[in-house]
Each structure stands twice: as structure tokens, then as C-alpha cells.
Amino acid sequence: MNQKARRSFSLVRYGGAVLDRTFTPAEANSALGEVRPKAERLVRLSERLRQLGSDQGRLVTAIGGNGEGHAAGDLDAARTELASLAADVASCIAELESLGVLVKDAELGLVDFPALRDDLPVLLCWHVGEPSVEFWHSYEEGYAGRKPIDWGEQGL
């Protein structure tokens, strides 16, 4: 199937936006050069965001009690960093989506590449820590239904 034919196929995403790009397994693996560092950054940002959210909760409890040596300024600093991190996470997700991938789990760095298998829409599945894109699943199955890519050139 040629590039033009594949680009004319559209998939409707969960939010209603239309994707106009599908990937072959080889194209998905080639795209990892751009996707991997962004996904790794997303994982780091998400971890810090989760950690800071937990810290903020402890600060609120401590300040509400006897203070435990913390001042309201500590809470303000945590809130400022939380807002900044949330904006960075959103920006990182937007960068990944601009490459044509779907971000499924920011903490795992789990992304899906829209693809066609026997002319049916599927998702090529990859997450931070995997060496290459080696699995696929249907839209309905999700991550739990991952299967090894069993068609075409895998680009490995």
C-alpha cells in the first residue's frame, strides 16, 4: 500500500479528533528516534508530578496541624512547581501527538501508533523501556490484548 493511500484513511480518536496518519511497523520503529526521547521525558515529568502532588498533600496536612517546621510559602512553591510541571506534561503530550502517536499512559510512556492490518485499523504498541515496536492490538483490546506483530516488515 502506498503512502498516499495510507494517509487518506482516517481513524477517529477518543476525543473526536481525526488522525490522518497510519504507520507500518517499519515506520513506527523509525519514528522511535523522535518518539523515544519525548516519551522518556514524559515519564520523568509524570514521576515528578506524582511525587510533588504527594509532597503537597503532606505539606497541607503538616501546615494544617502544627506546621512541622513548614510555612505556607513551602506550599506556594509546591503549587507553582506543580502548575509548571502540569504545563510541561501537556506540552510533551502535544509534541508526541503532533508526531502522529496516541499517548495512552504518561507514567509508563505508553504510546500507540495507528496502523492498518489487513486493511483494518489497529494500534502498534510501544512503551519506554522496550527496544522497538514489536506489538499490536485492536482498539477494543487495548494493552492487555497485545500480540507480536505478525505482518510485513517489522523494521527491527
Q: What is the dihedral of CA 42, 44, 48, 51, to 10 degrees?
A: 110
Judge whether 153 lies within some domain. Answer: no
**Domain enclosing residue 40, as ranges:** 3-148
Asked if the structure places residue 72 within a domain, the reply is yes
155 located within any domain:
no
Q: Quick check: is 21 in a domain?
A: yes
| Residue at 67 is within a domain | yes
pTM score? 0.74
Number of domains in the chain: 1
Can you list the alpha helix ranges (DSSP code H) found in 19-71? 25-64
For the stretch 67-107, pLDDT in tens is 455 455 566 677 788 888 889 999 999 999 999 999 999 99
